[in-house]
Chains A and B, each alone.
Chain A
Amino acid sequence: MNFIRIFIILVLLFSSAKAEIFYRGNDGDPETLDHHGTSTVSESKIISDLYSGLVDFSAQAKVVPGTAERWDISKDGTLYTFYLRENAKWSNGDPVTAHDFAFAYRRLMTPETNAKYATILYPIKNAEKVNMGELPPSALGVRVVDDRTFEVELEQPTPYFLDQLTHGTAKPLHQKSVEALGPQFVKPGNMVSNGAYRLFSSTLNDRIVLQKNPHFYDAANVAIEEVQYIPFEDRSTCVRAWEAEEVHVCSDLPAQDLERLGRKYGTALQIAPYLGTYYYALDTTDALLSDPEIRRAMSMVIDREFLAEEIWPGMIPATSLVPVGINNYITGSPETDYFNLSMLDREDEAAAIMARKGITKKNPVTVEIMYNSGENHKNTATAIADMWSEIGINVSYNIRDGAAHYAYLRDRGKMQVARAGWIGDYSDPQNFLFLLESHNTGFNYAKYNNPEFDGLMADAAEELDLDQRAVLLQKAEALIMRDTPFLPIFYYSSFSLISPDVIGWESNVMNKNLTRYLTLAE
């Protein structure tokens, strides 16, 4: 009898505990929880729950006040003054002060920190020089006016600076614990955070457990007591765990399961545009591909709808480099004429361009596509090779694994066509167009060099009026679409499986859903 009673109590305890815990499937395990070292999407989700920056994301991933309750921007757009909340506290009860932000930003730029994403905050005055070791961290353009007032001076007006501050690298650090513990500050029991949650435990490849931070300034409105991030290397495994009700959320799903999941679970499957573009870079210094007309013909003949339907279900066929739904782009991307034509007309026109260059099916040229290994990358390259064969381009392939592929691109090795993708760090068209600036040797795989384009980007960088700036950026993007150094193929989509028990999940272009805005059904 006693045994049965104990059993019932245990069952009740277990089930009630389970109801309060949010089991969140994550794409992978974080490489680090030091937000100055983070670089992956899976890390940014955890960091957003642990820390609150000067600004934060709303439930719809709009920029809203975070630890700073308000801010002033100088007329010339180069001086930001942030006023911190009086009730902003660290998880150990210490107040969050302007010193914590100044300390964190200086640490981020210190070369020895090895911050992979320090470049995000390069708009801050002297940031790049400090990061290169040319100036001491004290020279960084940040200033503590008083405990609750923090000033940031920029190199030049940067209309998307607030968007940049949503990035994980811009979160504060608890100066005392970081200085006392060194690299050990990220361990459970050591970490002091100022977000809606605090770190409870972390077991590699098993789970990261966060518990509600009672000192968080908005703790009264945080419903979920505990969130467990469970890393899934294999997306299909997450789907099985979700179907067995072992996790509430799966992010990123296997393409082959989308149709079945949609049919079986209806609105639990959420597909939303995501701030990213899948593209091919065409080397503009290559003997053949230096001709913009040939590059344009190669773009025209790609049937993106077919690729999206057959290979990448849920992805959106791209007609520009800047993805849809981005902020600060009132005009939107420019229209490119050939996207209004039917595929047949596009093929005819592309074949005519190539014929003028002396390239036909009977007199073909060979182009090499370089891509990183992956089933869908392979299928895409094969399908595109088939489309290009119609205009006299035979394709050879050069396949490497991810690390080797990107190392080759970084070293600017000889290439013709290379696959790449870009996920926006912040929601602004500049974050996509800057990839092709001639001085951007790290990202400009096409080696595109157009002074007119560079000039428009420079003008846009100095333009304070967002509408005027959008017009300049649109002109710059029109040049790219005309010259086709990058050949945009898809805009990414985010795929999530959300349990009906999760209330408040709003899919958005940044694919950001902070746990603090969610509730679990009773």
Chain B
Amino acid sequence: MLNYTLKRLLTMIPTLLVVITLTFFLMRVAPGGPFDEERPLAPAVLENIRASYGLDKPLIEQYWTYMGNLIQGDLGPSFVYRDKRVHEVLGEGLPISMTLGGTALFLALCIGVLLGTVAALNQNKRTDYLIVSFATFGITTPSFVLAPILTLIFALTFNLLPATGWGTPQQMVLPVLSLALPQIAIITRLMRGSMLEALRSDHVRTARAYGLPLTSVVGKHAMRSALLPVLSYVGPAAAALLTGSIVVEQIFNLPGIGRYFVSSALNRDYTMVMGTVIIISTLILIFNLIVDLLYAVLDPRVRYE
């Protein structure tokens, strides 16, 4: 297992290198540059600015410079936020995005697994219909619809919670709910389906036939195999949630990093695009590894040599 983990960690390096290289060159193929704005700059000024960021050098030289700096942990200067370097910008916003996404993920996992299990155990009964209806509503209501509705009800009509901002526990409630509800719905449906399948499996039916209590059958035997599909979904979803949601961050005006995934590409903030890509691809690789390792823990048939 340790060997396998180390091997996987090592294969992450070439994968990341390929992603970084592709992003670097693809970004430069896009027309326009970071200093092309509605008001054009005087040619000499533009030349100066480009030179000061090294953009006047041959592309391959820029690439090697970037990679050299990257190895030393420097993500370079932001082309838009001229007072800051990319690691500063991302460093300020990432903890906020991670707190928001982490809380939403935790809620979604706890509630989703619970609701899915309850629904499966009460298949075709009123509780099941209620939970499935809720899940269907959740899946069909995306965050960009849910968030303004929640704001309208809780912030603007009843004045119970703030409409925007970040910093207090109250300010977390609506963004976390907006982000978590669709995830709860998805996990509930996945969990219900896999739990139903698990309950029908031979080993669970045998356990029940031997007269083991229901809690033990579900908690010990069915849950392990029922969690596997949820796990497969949560891996990549966690990477996306933890790096922030542009929609939720924009609607609640949160200073996370979700916005940079779009704005940096539109502004041709090359170094910022690279920074966001590096973060999300690293997280995806790490979460995929965690999911694979957890598979081995949950399913005794899976063994990594």
Chain A positions within 8 Å of B, measured between CB atoms, are 29, 31-34, 37, 39, 111-112, 114-116, 118-119, 131-133, 183, 186-187, 203-206, 230-234, 236-238, 240-241, 243-244, 246, 400-410, 420-422, 442-443
The 8 closest A-B pairs by CB, nearest first: A403-B32, A407-B32, A244-B163, A205-B255, A407-B36, A404-B32, A206-B255, A32-B82
- Shortest CB-to-CB span from B208 to chain A, Å, is 52
For window 35-91 of chain B, which residues contact chain A by CB distance below 8 Å?
A: 35-45, 48-49, 52, 80-84, 89
- Shortest CB-to-CB span from A220 to chain B, Å, is 32
Q: What range describes how many residues of B lie at the interface?
A: 35 or more
Chain A CB within 8 A of B251 CB: yes
- B39 proximity list for chain A (CB < 8 A): 39, 422
The interface residues of chain B, by DSSP majority, are classed as loop
Known: A232-B253, A407-B36, A409-B40. A206 touches B45 (CB 8 A): no
**A243-B156, A409-B40 provided; 20 other pairs, C-beta below 8 A?**
A112-B48, A116-B45, A119-B42, A132-B44, A183-B83, A187-B83, A233-B250, A237-B164, A241-B165, A243-B163, A246-B165, A400-B32, A402-B32, A402-B38, A403-B32, A404-B36, A407-B32, A408-B31, A422-B39, A442-B41
Residue contact B166 to A34, C-beta cutoff 8 Å:
no
Residue contact A203 to B36, C-beta cutoff 8 Å:
no
- B252 proximity list for chain A (CB < 8 A): 237
In the complex formed, the residue of B with least CB distance to A244 is B163
Chain A CB within 8 A of B11 CB: no
- A404 proximity list for chain B (CB < 8 A): 30-32, 36
Residue contact A403 to B42, C-beta cutoff 8 Å:
no
- Shortest CB-to-CB span from B89 to chain A, Å, is 6
Chain A CB within 8 A of B162 CB: yes
Residue contact A244 to B48, C-beta cutoff 8 Å:
no
Residue contact B266 to A403, C-beta cutoff 8 Å:
yes
Residue contact A234 to B40, C-beta cutoff 8 Å:
no
What are 12 A-B contacts defined by CB distance under 8 Å?
A: A39-B39, A111-B44, A203-B92, A204-B81, A232-B253, A237-B252, A237-B253, A241-B163, A400-B31, A402-B266, A409-B40, A410-B36
A402–B80 CA distance with the chains assembled, in angstroms: 14
Residue contact A204 to B255, C-beta cutoff 8 Å:
yes
For B259-300 the 0/1 string (1 means CB < 8 A from A) is 100010011100000000000000000000000000000000
A252–B250 CA distance with the chains assembled, in angstroms: 16
Residue contact A241 to B164, C-beta cutoff 8 Å:
yes
Residue contact A244 to B156, C-beta cutoff 8 Å:
yes
Residue contact B40 to A240, C-beta cutoff 8 Å:
no
- B259 proximity list for chain A (CB < 8 A): 205, 233
The interface residues of chain A, by DSSP majority, are classed as mixed
Chain A CB within 8 A of B196 CB: no
A148–B30 CA distance with the chains assembled, in angstroms: 51
A246–B45 CA distance with the chains assembled, in angstroms: 40
Residue contact B253 to A406, C-beta cutoff 8 Å:
no
- A29 proximity list for chain B (CB < 8 A): 81
Residue contact A407 to B31, C-beta cutoff 8 Å:
yes
Residue contact B253 to A241, C-beta cutoff 8 Å:
yes
A404–B267 CA distance with the chains assembled, in angstroms: 10
A31–B79 CA distance with the chains assembled, in angstroms: 9
- Shortest CB-to-CB span from A127 to chain B, Å, is 12
For window 215-259 of chain B, which residues contact chain A by CB distance below 8 Å?
A: 250-253, 255-256, 259
For B10-44 the 0/1 string (1 means CB < 8 A from A) is 00000000000000000000111111111111111
A233–B163 CA distance with the chains assembled, in angstroms: 15
- B204 proximity list for chain A (CB < 8 A): none
Known: A410-B36, A443-B40. A33 touches B83 (CB 8 A): yes
Chain A CB within 8 A of B151 CB: yes
- A240 proximity list for chain B (CB < 8 A): 148, 151, 155-156, 163-164
- A206 proximity list for chain B (CB < 8 A): 166, 255
Residue contact B83 to A410, C-beta cutoff 8 Å:
no
- Shortest CB-to-CB span from A152 to chain B, Å, is 21
- Shortest CB-to-CB span from B94 to chain A, Å, is 12
A166–B219 CA distance with the chains assembled, in angstroms: 71
In the complex formed, the residue of A with least CB distance to B167 is A206
- A204 proximity list for chain B (CB < 8 A): 81, 84, 89, 92-93, 255
Residue contact B164 to A111, C-beta cutoff 8 Å:
no
- Shortest CB-to-CB span from A392 to chain B, Å, is 32
For B147-185 the 0/1 string (1 means CB < 8 A from A) is 010010001100100111110000000000000000000
In the complex formed, the residue of A with least CB distance to B253 is A237
A238–B156 CA distance with the chains assembled, in angstroms: 13
Residue contact B255 to A403, C-beta cutoff 8 Å:
no
Residue contact A442 to B31, C-beta cutoff 8 Å:
no
A405–B255 CA distance with the chains assembled, in angstroms: 29
A183–B159 CA distance with the chains assembled, in angstroms: 43
Known: A233-B250, A400-B31. A442 touches B151 (CB 8 A): no
- A407 proximity list for chain B (CB < 8 A): 31-33, 36
With beta carbons under 8 angstroms apart, the residue of B40, B49, B162 that contacts A246 is: B162
Residue contact B156 to A205, C-beta cutoff 8 Å:
no
- B155 proximity list for chain A (CB < 8 A): 240, 244
Residue contact A234 to B250, C-beta cutoff 8 Å:
yes
A186–B148 CA distance with the chains assembled, in angstroms: 36
- A112 proximity list for chain B (CB < 8 A): 48, 52
- Shortest CB-to-CB span from B146 to chain A, Å, is 14
In the complex formed, the residue of A with least CB distance to B267 is A403
A20–B92 CA distance with the chains assembled, in angstroms: 28
- Shortest CB-to-CB span from A424 to chain B, Å, is 11
- A132 proximity list for chain B (CB < 8 A): 44
A433–B252 CA distance with the chains assembled, in angstroms: 42
- A33 proximity list for chain B (CB < 8 A): 83
Task: Determine which residue in B38, B52, B83 has the highest number of CB atoms from chain A within 10 A of its CB, and name it.
Answer: B83
A226–B205 CA distance with the chains assembled, in angstroms: 69
A406–B32 CA distance with the chains assembled, in angstroms: 7
With beta carbons under 8 angstroms apart, the residue of A34, A115, A237, A443 that contacts B45 is: A115
A406–B41 CA distance with the chains assembled, in angstroms: 11
- B80 proximity list for chain A (CB < 8 A): 31
A111–B41 CA distance with the chains assembled, in angstroms: 13
Residue contact B32 to A421, C-beta cutoff 8 Å:
no
- A421 proximity list for chain B (CB < 8 A): 38
Task: Determine which residue in A32, A187, A238 has the highest number of CB atoms from chain B within 10 A of its CB, and name it.
Answer: A32
